[in-house]
Amino acid sequence: MKTVHKRRLLALAALLKKLPPKRFTMRRWVGWDWSGDPTLSCGTSACALGWATTIPSLRRLGLRLDKGEGCVVLHRRGHRPITSYYNGYLDIAALLFGLDEQEAERVFMPRHGYDNTKAKAAQIIALVKSKK
């Protein structure tokens, strides 16, 4: 059985709770107006996985936004980078958060009713609580 990294998920939920609604969208990894600043302090919007790249503990594990690709990338020592394109976000979610495919899709793909910070944070918290 996979270990779910609850602290990492709760750190993401806490970050999302504090975000202004206009800075969050589940429609793209990062906004088209992103300047390349890894902290996203430039005022752009991002999705849940995009915002996860600003959490220092996840950055230390290799999670980054890639300016050239406009996507999330996981760089791990001794491994090829994993990009969030196609189904790569599933691998990133499995490695960093311990989520299975269904959980990763629920948390990191657009879903009706979860395109706001509070709802997405509540969804993540509910997932963590469901894990014993």
Euclidean distance between CA atoms 27 and 10, whole angstroms? 22
What is the average pLDDT score of the chain?
A: 90
Question: What is the average pLDDT across 9-24?
Answer: 95
Instruction: Judge whether residue 69 has pLDDT over 90.
Output: no
pLDDT single digits (tens) 96-120: 999 999 999 989 988 766 678 899 9
Q: Among all chains, which residue has been given the structure tokens 């990338």?
A: 73
- Global pTM reads 0.92
**Residues 71-97: tens digit of each pLDDT:** 899 999 889 989 888 888 999 999 999
